[in-house]
Amino acid sequence: MTPHQALHTAAQLLVAPPVSMRRCWQRGCAALTRLALEQGLQRYWQRTAAGIAHLPMRHQLLALALDRFAGPEAARIAGAVWHGLSRAMHHHTYELPPTTAELQNWHRDVSRLLTALAERTPATS
């Protein structure tokens, strides 16, 4: 599944969740959106700095903030979205699932971020 496909499927869950997912569609949407973000970052790193692609996500987000890569604003958005989606994916009996508005905002942010990263040319040393 490509990042675009994952985002498309997540968007479909936001609009019309299937009856079979009535209690878990929010977490499914969060998982697909995070998958799209992670795969999009993986593709970005393969193009720009292949050695970073195999590091843990926290390290990738730190590296993303460097000016030679995406910069601090893109890294801030990516970090906030990734942490929010990660938190939303975990089911705890005392927590409510993410709201539709939260999911829509995360989806929008990931879509914009992946578009911006796809348009960036590889950094030169």
Residue range 54-101, pLDDT digits in tens: 999 999 999 999 989 999 999 999 999 999 999 998 877 788 889 999
Assigned domain for 18 exists: yes
> CA 84, CA 88: separation in Å to the nearest integer?
6
Look-up: residue for tokens 């692609």? 53
Query: How far apart, in whole angstroms, are the C-alpha atoms of residue 63 and residue 91?
Result: 30
pLDDT of 125 = 46
| pLDDT per position as a tens digit, 25-63 | 999 999 999 999 999 999 999 999 999 999 999 999 999
Decide if 124 is inside a domain: no
Q: How confident is the model at residue 123 (pLDDT cuts 50, 70, 90)?
A: low
Structural domain boundaries enclosing 23:
3-119
Q: Report yes or no on 88 lying in a domain.
A: yes
Q: pTM of the full predicted structure?
A: 0.91
Q: Is the CB of residue 62 less than 8 Å from the CB of residue 75?
A: yes
Q: What domain count does the chain have?
A: 1
Cβ pair 82, 34 in contact under 8 A:
yes
